[in-house]
């Protein structure tokens, strides 16, 4: 699982059938101090996240396909949760 901050959305006119009616978000990975790393993932949104929100992502194709319940989905990354708080020691 990876923490990230949603920084944008992606819109396309031509895409694979799997992506019809699915939201694609650009998510900047966060480091251990919750600072953006400049490395990003493009994820499908399973939790209705919005720009500026901190989210929990899964970046592993098979696990992502299990979440969407489609073994043949052309998918690698998925947002699985919105983070309310993070406590660091």
pLDDT tens readout for residues 35-65: 999 999 999 999 999 999 999 999 988 888 8
> For the chain, which domains are there?
2-82 (2.40.50.220)
Measured in whole angstroms, the distance separating CA 40 from the mean position of its chain's CA atoms is: 9
Element (H, E) at 64: helix 61-68
DSSP state of 17: G
Q: CA 73, 29, 83: angle at the middle one, nearest 5?
A: 85
Instruction: Supply the pTM of this predicted model.
Output: 0.88
Question: CA 69, CA 87: separation in Å to the nearest integer?
Answer: 32
């Amino acid at each position: 699982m990876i923490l990230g901050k949603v920084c944008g959305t992606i819109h396309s006119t031509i895409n694979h059938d799997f992506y019809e009616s699915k939201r694609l978000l650009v998510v900047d990975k966060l480091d251990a101090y919750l600072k953006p790393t400049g490395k990003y993932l493009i994820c499908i949104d399973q939790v209705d996240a919005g720009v500026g929100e901190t989210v929990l992502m899964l970046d592993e194709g098979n696990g992502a396909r299990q979440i969407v319940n489609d073994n043949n989905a052309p998918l690698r990354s998925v947002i699985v949760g919105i983070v309310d708080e993070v406590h660091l020691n």
